[in-house]
Amino acid sequence: MSSIDPTREQFDAFKGLPRDTPIQMLNLVRLKALADYPADHPDHGKGLSGLEAYRAYGRTTAALFAKLGGRQIWAGKPDLVLTGPTDERWDLAFIAEYPNAGAFFAMVTDPDYREWVKHRQAAVEDSRLIRLAPMTPGEGFGE
């Protein structure tokens, strides 16, 4: 079973957490070979790859993301799952940081964003979006 958007229960749990503290969002994304836009979308039938559709999502949402104080603080291309299911693969991994959870909430509820996110939905085969509370690393691993 793939995960593209949060379930109602997951989004309600997110809304129940504090909104006034900085957050980071770990994104793991597996892309479709061919984007799957709904029939009424202007890009339907154009043969865009999942990567092209995901890049369209990034381009269209970039100004709103920045206006709300968001920034990408880390990005990497996953090579291999060393611990975990050996058939699991991710095409993109990145961490987006927001000044507070309210900024993230404002982004995903913005009317324009609700249209732009269709690029992401067309592009993504599976994903994980994990809210992180920033912390200062300790001296050892995992501290």
CA distance 134 to 129: 15
Measured CA distances, 36 to 96, 106, 121 (Å): 25, 26, 8
Domains of the chain by residue range:
10-132
In a 10 Å sphere around its CB, with 0-12 CB exposed, 13-18 middle and 19+ buried, how is residue 74 labelled?
Answer: exposed
**Of the candidates 53, 47, 46, the residue with the CA atom closest to the CA atom of residue 31:** 53
Least confident of 18-22, 25-29, 138-142: 138-142
Q: DSSP secondary-structure letter at 24?
A: E
Domain spanning 10-132, CATH class: alpha beta
Task: Quick: pLDDT tens for 92-107.
Answer: 999 999 999 999 999 9
pLDDT at 113: 97
The rounded percent of the chain whose pLDDT value lies above 90 is 87
Q: Please, where are the H alpha helices in 35-85? A: 50-67
Question: pTM here?
Answer: 0.92
Mean pLDDT, the chain, rounded, equals: 95
Task: Work out the percent of the chain whose per-residue pLDDT is above 70.
Answer: 99
CA–CA separation, 135 and 22 (whole Å): 10
Judge whether 124 and 50 are in contact, CB under 8 Å: yes
Please indicate whether residue 31 or residue 139 has the higher confidence score (pLDDT): 31
Strands in 71-76's sheet, in edge-to-edge order, are 71-76, 92-98, 23-31, 124-132
Read off the pLDDT of residues 97-137 as tens digits, 9 standing for 90 and up: 999 999 999 999 999 999 999 999 999 999 999 999 999 88
- Span 43-102, pLDDT tens digits: 999 999 999 999 999 999 999 999 999 999 999 999 999 999 888 899 999 999 999 999
Query: Taking a C-beta distance cutoff of 8 angstroms, is the pair 17, 105 a contact?
Result: no
The pair of structure tokens assigned to 129 is 């979006």
Three-class DSSP category at 115: helix
